[in-house]
Structure 1
C-alpha cells in the first residue's frame, strides 16, 4: 500500500512557492544593466532573468509534486502560463509577453470564480473547503471579494508594466502582489471567524 505523502513543513512550503520569484528578482537585479550574447543573439537582463525563472519554477513544482503528491489548479495553471509566456519572451526576445502573464492569470481566475457564481457553483469552496472550514454564505462572500481582487490585480498589472520601468514592474511582481494577497486575507479574518465552522454539524 503506497504511503501517503507527508505535508510540507511551513519553511519548505514557503521556499518552494516563493523561491523561484526571489531567484527571478535577484537574477534581474544582477543582470538588468547587462547584455548577454547567446547563440548569436543579444539578450537584456530581463530576458536572462526570465530564462532563469522558468526552469527554476518548473523544478520547484516538480519537487512540490514529488513531496506532496499533488499540485493545485492555480499552481498548474501558473506553470503552464509561465512556460508559455516565458518561452515566447525568450524566443521572440520580447519582454512584453512575460509581463502580460500575471494579467492573464488573474483575469482567468476572476473569470472562473465569476462563472462559478453565475452558475451557483462555488468552486472555491470545493477546492479549499477542507483546508478552511466555513459556512456556504461565507464562501460566497469570499468568492465575490476574491474575484474582484483578481480583476483589480489584472488591471493593476497592465497599468504598471505599460507605464513604469522594468525595475518597478519586477518590484511590483516580487513584493507588491504577494503583499496585496496577504493584506486581502488578513482583512478577511473577520469573515473567516464569523462564518467558520468545524464541519461537525
Structure 2
C-alpha cells in the first residue's frame, strides 16, 4: 500500500491526467498444463461482462453480489474505457477483500490506503456511501482493538504489581503472627529464674 502523499505526488506515476493509474505485477508461481500454440503466446485473457465491467472469472461472483445489493453503485460512473473501468472494479474488490480481513491483520496504513482508494473511486462517481460506513466501522473496531490491547497490558502490569504487594503483605502477616504467638506464650519458671 502507498500513502496519500505518494498518490498525490507530482510525477509519482499514480495520477495521470487526474485519474488514478493502477499497475499490477503478476508472478507465476506454478505453470499448469501447456499451451499447444506454435509461435507467439496468446495474451488474450477471458473476461466476462458484469454491468459494463470486463472482469476475470474469479471476480464475477463478487461483482454480481455487489450489483445485486447496490444496483446504483456505478449509475454515474464516468470512465468509459474498458481497461479503466476494470481497474476501478478491481480496486473496489481489493478494498472489500481488505475489509474482510480480521482487524488484527489490517494495519493503520492499510486503513489509510483504503480511505485513499475510496476517495479515488468516489471521484470517479462510484456511489459508495455504504462502503464508507463499513470502512468507518472497521476503523472504529481497529481503534477499539488497539485501545483494548493497551488497556489489557496496563491492567496486566497492575495485576502483577498487586500480586507482588499481596505476597509481601502475606509474608508480613505471617511474621506478625509469629511475633504475636511468641508474645502470648507463657513464661516458664526456668525463663524467670
- Does TM, scored on the shorter chain, surpass 0.5? no
TM-score (norm 2): 0.29
Larger Rg belongs to:
2
Scaled by the length of structure 1, what TM-score is found?
0.28
Point out the structure with the larger helix share: 1
